[in-house]
């Protein structure tokens, strides 16, 4: 306890004088040794640790202890505990990989919206002005690409009173769809387009 805190006359549950940490050596040889626990030990060395290693957040062991607790939950008995932990972690990685693989074949989340392999939710436009039909997604390492088929041409749906292309409203014909799969980086996807089927007279 600092000299400033001693002057504050803090309330105490015991009718005893508040002591600072300089009395720890005396406590060890008296009945007060029961109060010398790990917290007191940390307080004795906290200044040295901060001076030597820097901010407490950079040397805290809480993340390690939290992860260690998760690993302990994977162990069911005391026999071959390391093997059990490795097997459980391997199983979890396989399940996670299977879920990602299953999700990527149906849905793709891009910058706040979701593309799906159905008529209404599968159209999207790139920053280059190209319109695609979503077919799937693929992840290679840390890079995720969206797969789709590109329309060879599209036209404004209306010109009056305001050109529809300025509102990202276009008309496209399924006959102009190129069925070759094209990989598009997610950063190049500008927006999702809601598809509305119309009937045109040939």
DSSP string covering 90-142: HHHHHHHHHHHHHHHTTEEEETTEEEESSTTT-EEEETTS-EEEEEEEEEETT
Query: Is 141 among the domain residues?
Result: yes
| Shared-domain flag, residues 45 and 65 | no
| Block residue for tokens 């436009």 | 125
Q: How many domains does the chain have?
A: 3
| Shared-domain flag, residues 148 and 176 | yes
pTM of the model: 0.43
Give the residue, 3 or 114, on which the prediction is more confident: 114
| Shared-domain flag, residues 49 and 65 | no
| Shared-domain flag, residues 143 and 178 | yes
The sheet that has 143-150: what strands, in order across it? 182-185, 143-150, 131-140, 123-126, 189-193
| Shared-domain flag, residues 156 and 175 | yes
pLDDT over threshold 60, residue 2:
no
Query: Is 114 among the domain residues?
Result: no
| Shared-domain flag, residues 41 and 65 | no
What is the domain range of residue 72? 61-102
Quick one: pLDDT at residue 106? 46
Q: How far apart are CA 137 and CA 117, in angstroms?
A: 10
| Shared-domain flag, residues 87 and 149 | no
Query: Is 198 among the domain residues?
Result: no
Quick one: pLDDT at residue 105? 45
Query: Is 110 among the domain residues?
Result: no
Which residue, among 145, 149, 167, has the nearest Cα to 157 in the 3D structure? 167
Give the residue, 91 or 28, on which the prediction is more confident: 91
Structure tokens at 37: 């626990």
Name residues whose C-beta falls within 8 Å of residue 92's C-beta, 6 or more positions apart in sequence.
none
| Residues comprising the chain, all counted | 202
| Shared-domain flag, residues 186 and 130 | yes
| Shared-domain flag, residues 65 and 45 | no
| Shared-domain flag, residues 41 and 73 | no
Query: Is 113 among the domain residues?
Result: no
C-beta of residue 189 within 8 angstroms of C-beta of residue 110? yes
Query: Is 98 among the domain residues?
Result: yes
pLDDT over threshold 50, residue 76:
yes
| Shared-domain flag, residues 7 and 38 | yes
Q: How far apart are CA 27 and CA 32, in angstroms?
A: 5
């Amino acid at each position: 306890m600092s000299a400033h805190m001693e002057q504050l006359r803090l309330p105490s549950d015991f009718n005893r004088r508040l002591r600072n940490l300089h009395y720890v050596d005396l406590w060890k040889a008296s009945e007060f040794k029961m109060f010398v626990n790990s917290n007191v030990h940390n307080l004795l060395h906290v200044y040295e640790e901060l001076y030597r290693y820097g901010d407490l957040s950079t040397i805290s062991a809480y993340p390690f202890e939290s992860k260690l607790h998760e690993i302990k939950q994977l162990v069911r008995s005391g026999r071959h505990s390391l093997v059990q932990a490795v097997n459980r972690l391997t199983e979890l990685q396989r399940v996670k990989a299977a879920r990602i693989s299953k999700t990527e074949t149906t849905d793709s989340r891009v910058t706040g919206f979701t593309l799906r392999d159905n008529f209404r939710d599968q159209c999207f436009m790139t920053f280059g002005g190209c319109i695609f039909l979503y077919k799937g997604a693929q992840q290679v390492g840390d890079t995720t690409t969206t797969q789709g088929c590109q329309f060879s041409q599209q036209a404004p749906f209306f010109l009056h009173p305001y050109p529809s292309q300025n509102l990202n409203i276009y008309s496209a014909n399924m006959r102009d769809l190129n069925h070759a799969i094209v990989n598009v980086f997610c950063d190049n996807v500008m927006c999702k387009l809601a598809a509305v089927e119309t009937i045109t007279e040939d």
